[in-house]
Structure 1
Amino acid sequence: MNSIFLSGCLAKVKVIFAENIVCCSRIKVLMMDTKNLLHTNRTEVRKLVLEKLGQSEEDIRKDIQLLKNWFNYQKHLPELPCDEVLEIFLVVNKFNLEKCKKKVDKYYTIRKEIPELYVNKNPKLEHMKEIANVVYAIPLPKLTPTLSRITVMKFKDTNPEKYHPLNYFAHTYNILEIRVREDMMLTDTLVYDLEGLQFGHLFKLRIGILRKASAILEKVFTSRLEAIHYINLPSSMQVIVNLAKNIFGEKMRKRIHVHKDLESLHQHIPKEFLPQDFGGSEKTLDELHGKFS
């Protein structure tokens, strides 16, 4: 598990800058409230998630306290995250405390290791507002019956000249930061609409950028992936997707789906959970996008 906003829990975070390390323990992380953008009854969903994972309220209280005790000895880390943040780290790591500690540690320290994806990426900055108007990266409001959060990625503006990979990945991590503070789910479902994808976009994707972006996902935001869905895949990209699928193990390959049309997508994701742009009954991407920009 894509980035930095703040919700009611207001975790006090130190922001690490590349050369001059500036610690701001009492700032709102990106100076913007998330305003409960995800329509999740956290209490209800939390109960269902704990049942699925075989955990009780007492279990989670004990684990959170153990994490807090551990955190107090980590002098290189900033102030303690709120309980909601610790909860989501526990959930996505299936309550494996050692894995959770590593992810929480890396959540903070990676900002210094890969500053180019964090420094000057406040969503209020002009260049970040611009990238938010080039791509949609939207977690959809409703959880599926399997408690999966659907996130849709799609070009809003297909002009390759306006696409900047570093800013794009930083934008998606800003969205992930909202989720760290507000979300509660069991798995993730990703939908990539590749309509408008051009070689001009791919040409800008340097291997170094991809490695750094992947490192953040792998070391910090790893989640339980239920499925990846591709729609409007250019014929030239089909070969690349097939090659990628061959690299993955059988379990992962079964989670990757390429759809020729919306009807095929609807066989996997009911319309009620999808935006109108995808033939669904949820709000349009533009309406949803307005809340995240």
Structure 2
Amino acid sequence: MEEDNGAVDSGATTGGPLVGFPSPPPPIYRCTLTPALEAKAREELQEKPEWRLRDAQALRDMVQKEQPNLRTRLDDAFLLRFLRARKFDYDRGLQLLLNYHASRRAWPEVFHDLRPSTVRHVLEQGFITVLPQPDSQGRYILCLRPGKWKQNDYPFVDNIRAIYLTLEKLIQPEETQVNGIVILVDYTGVGLSQASNPGPFLAKKVVSILQDGFPIRIKAVNIINEPRIFKGIFAIIKPFLKEKMAERYVLHGSDLASLHRNIPRAVLPEEYGGVAGRLDFAVWTRTLLDSEEDFVVEFCQPDPLEGAVPPDAMLFEGEAGSQADETFRNLRSQLYYCY
């Protein structure tokens, strides 16, 4: 239903308030940014409050004209995610929106029936969580602990599903769209079997989605307690990283003082030298599980690209087979050497 401000009600529910995290905006757009965040968005993202709804309408018009068969939300709150992620460049915002939907077709084993209850085991294992308080720059901290995953427990793709759902939840509040997020990866306990998953083909798909298929600003990736074999792990990932993103990877080893300098005044858990007590996986697990209905509306629907023209860049075609297998064998040899 068209409203006075140009928003389209998608019919999606937003769920109740989060525990320790900001609530998502209402379906009908009302700006929730503080004056300070509006100033930051103006400076860093080229966002002008007086033109905000006009810009969302321009992107909406482009979708309806160029991709009339695309099944997508067209409300202001949703479209602004893509405009902010591409500094209000309409063409790049549209490309990101198409990539976002093309990812689902390209990787059905991740996106089919994607909802929190299907990855409860990943959340409860402690592979992923989000700290309940942001750092001093307003960036929420997504924590990954690959050592918590064991190859015989469940497929690695379940970890990717949990990461994607977490990003979907984090991107709902406007402050995250402006401030971005920080990723903290703790490699404690990672051995050779975990390091060889994912292979290069899987790694490329993950990196491609994070860089080109999801509307979030990843401001830093902090790696701690990395083993010697991390050289091999990073050799798998680095070829697929854009230069700007590669520069945001910071390796700290066991130097927690260095970590704190890179996440200013963050309230980190006790094991990372903070004062917040032990890492509480239950809070974020409950936050996601309480949002089950939201994700059913978003992801348990027909293919959004049916009848639309998908972008070639996100289809990952022609990369499986013997060449990918050979690349994986070479990189696996590197892992054994580092180990």
Match of 1:75 in 2: 68
* Residue aligning to 1:256: 249
1:260-281 per-residue CA deviation (whole Å, 9 max, x = no partner) reads: 2322211222354323442223
Q: CA deviation at 1:254?
A: 4.3
Map 1:50-61 to 2 at 5 A: 50-53=41-44, 54-61=46-53
Cα distance, 1:193 vs. partner? 0.5
SS at match of 1:292: helix
Alignment of 1:211 onto 2:201: no
Residue 249 of structure 1 and its aligned partner are, at CA, apart by 7.6
Aligned to 2:280: 285
Q: Show the counterpart of 2:259.
A: 265
1:49, distance to aligned residue in structure 2 (A):
3.2
1:143 Cα deviation from its structure 2 partner: 3.7
| Cross-structure match for 2:104 | 111
**1:189 maps to which of 160, 182, 185:** 182
Aligned partners of 1:228 and 1:255 also within 8 Å: yes
User: Equivalent residue for 2:89?
Assistant: 96
- Tell which has more relative contact order, 1 or 2 (C-alpha 8 A, sep 6+): 2
> Does the aligned pair in 1 maintain the 2:136–2:265 contact within 8 Å?
no
Structure 2 residue aligned with 1:5: none
- Output aligned runs, 1:1-293, within 5 Å: 12=10, 33=15, 35-36=17-18, 38-39=21-22, 42-44=32-34, 46-53=37-44, 54-73=46-65, 74-125=67-118, 128-155=119-146, 157-182=148-173, 183-221=176-214, 223-238=216-231, 240-241=233-234, 252=245, 254-259=247-252, 260-282=254-276, 284-290=279-285, 291-293=287-289
Q: Assess, with a 3 A threshold, how the Cα gap between structure 1 residues 122 and 11 changes in structure 2: closer, same or farther.
A: farther
Gaps of 5+ in 2: 1-6, 25-31, 290-339
Structure 1 unaligned regions, length at least 5:
1-8, 13-25
Contact 1:153/1:191 (<8 A) preserved = yes
Which letter maps to 2:104? R
Please, what is the CA RMSD of the aligned residues?
Answer: 3.3
CA contact (8 A) 1:230 1:257 kept: yes
Structure index of larger Rg: 2
CA distance in 2, matches of 1:244, 1:79: 31
TM-score under structure 1 normalisation?
A: 0.76
In the TM superposition, residue 222 of structure 1 has moved relative to its aligned partner by 5.5
What is the percent sequence identity of the aligned residues? Answer: 20
Which of the two has greater strand per residue? 1
Letter in 1 for 2:284: H
Secondary structure of the 2:131 match is strand
Q: Deviations over 1:163-197 (max 9, x none)?
A: 52211111111111112323333333211011111
Structure 1 window deviating more from structure 2 (278-287 vs 194-203): it is: 278-287
Q: Cα distance, 1:62 vs. partner?
A: 1.3
* CA-CA distance at 1:63 after TM superposition: 0.5
In the alignment of these two chains, the number of paired residues is 267
Contact 1:134 1:155 in 2 (8 A): no
